[in-house]
Structure 1
Amino acid sequence: MGNLSLVTIVIIAANVIISFKGFKDYGFFDTYKFNVGRIKAGEKLRLFSSGFLHVDTAHLFFNMFTLYFFADVVVSRLGNFNFLVVYIVSLVLGSLLSLYLHKNEYHYTAVGASGAVTGVLYSAILLEPNMRLFLFFIPIPIPAYIFGIGYLLYSIYGMKNQVGNIGHDAHFGGAIGGFLTTLILRPVLFQTDLLMIALLTIPIILLYILYKTGKLH
């Protein structure tokens, strides 16, 4: 982890440049942020452009720091082009899930690369399930798949209870995007890591059940 390919450098640079433009120019920020009302009025570009804006430098740093550590796992296994596919699909699916869940909240807004970055994170977990993660508050490394399942469950909790000013639904949509895209690009995983696929599918099924039963909000 931690190696930077050219495509990763370009993505990080784009996030930094566009985010800093948004920090200084609220008109620019307002034009390209995720906003349900404006998207439903036809401004579909916001589904994509919002993924390159951030609310502040801390938000930007956390997303890019996470991308820095996990991007090279996906690039090394899938290649530069397919990594870009995972990133974009995760970004857009995160936005689409947010749009679907907040379709009647016309003033709902959001920004950030969290959906895309979470998709890359889950792609990396699927491609390297024995990878160990070091978290600041846990003194020992934990298996990546434990973190992945736990994070999705926390995202469901956050969506259900509206915890913090965080787009948990974009995180979840991005994770699903990275998960499904990786399986499409690397179907051999169904033969080599079927149990891991099943484990990571559990939170997705739980989310569907909660939504269908009206218990998500």
Structure 2
Amino acid sequence: MNTFLLVLIGINAVVSFKGFNDFDFFRKYEFHVGSIRSGEQLRMLTSGFLHGDITHLAFNMLTLYFFAPIVLDTFGNVNFLYVYFVSLIAGSLLTMYFHKNDFHYRAVGASGAVTGIIYSSILLYPEMNLYLFFAIPIKGYVFGIGYLLYSIYGMKAKNDNIGHTAHFGGAIGGYLFTLIKVPSLIQTNTEMVILLTIPIIILFYLHKTNRLN
């Protein structure tokens, strides 16, 4: 396993556990629309290293662990970081776009960055296989699309502190960065390029028609 990836997972774990045990630290660095609009833009980055609970952290880091090696092997460490942080920031920007008038909106999680890595890896290797619960085989693109469809449910349910909107911003960030780096994918992997846009189109349609409320 790439040491670079383990360090990134470790940083997420250390910051998250600090947040689990220090409420003031959690509140200071979480995504909070009112605070960001008051000038605390750093929260758009720091919130991506906090998590709501151990299950949230474990799910994101396990997902990153499975998908990141493809991006690392293809792009190398530096461009992997570009995908990760471009996706993280894109997730925060989309969240601000959707919730800019909801001053009390709060969220945390590496989900935006992780979803960007998912989309990047699926574009690079669409036939990759995963094993849910280490036993049930599933195609990577099925997992990725299902992940975003579940995020739409989470956005409508509004029953947790997870940044579901950031999943889509992250997906867009990872998707666009990968296509810019490897534009030949538009021709060699046309079906997957189109397929991966479907959940994103559904999200903006639901937002436009006010069906996310």
Give the TM-score taking structure 1 as reference length. 0.90
**Which residue pairs with 2:152 in the alignment?**
156
Residue correspondence of structure 1 range 179-198 to structure 2 within 5 A = 179-198=175-194
Secondary structure (helix, strand or coil) at the match of 1:190 reads helix
Structure 2 distance, partners of 1:56, 1:165, is: 10
- TM alignment of 1:1-217, pairs within 5 A: 3=1, 5-136=2-133, 140-162=136-158, 164-217=160-213
For 2:147 and 2:52, locate their aligned partners in 1 and report how far apart those are by CA, in whole Å: 22
Change (3 A) 1:19 1:154: closer
Between the aligned partners of 1:58 and 1:214, the Cα distance in structure 2 is 31
Deviation string for 1:47-100 (max 9, x for gaps)?
000111122223222211211111111100111111101100111111111121
Are the equivalent residues in 2 in contact too, given 1:94–1:172 (CA < 8 A)?
yes
CA contact (8 A) 1:7 1:84 kept: no
Q: How far, CA to CA, are the matches of 1:48 and 1:164 in structure 2?
A: 20
Q: Which amino acid aligns with 1:204?
A: I
2:156 partner amino acid: K
The gaps in structure 2 that reach 5 residues or longer are none
8 Å contact 2:109–2:162 — kept in the other structure? no
1:114-167 Cα offsets, whole Å, 9 max, x none, are 111121112111111001121239x54122222222322232233234365532
Give the partner amino acid of 2:97. Y
Check 1:213–1:56 CA distance in 2 against 1; reply closer, same or farther (3 A cut).
Answer: closer
- 1:74 touches 1:124 (CA, 8 Å); kept in 2? yes
Q: Which amino acid aligns with 1:172?
A: F
- In the alignment, the residues of structure 1 paired with residue 159 and residue 179 of structure 2 have an alpha-carbon distance, to the nearest angstrom, of 30
Tell me how far 1:195 sits from its aligned partner.
Answer: 1.0
Percent identity between the two aligned chains = 62
Query: Which whole-Å CA distance do the structure 2 matches of 1:89 and 1:104 have between them?
Result: 24
Amino acid of the residue matched to residue 31 of structure 2?
F
1:34–1:62 CA distance, 2 compared to 1 (3 A) = same
Q: Which runs of 5+ in 1 are unaligned?
A: none
Aligned amino acid, residue 213 of structure 1: T
What's the RMSD between the two structures over aligned residues? 1.8
State the secondary structure of the residue aligned to 1:43. coil
Moved over 6 A (4+): none
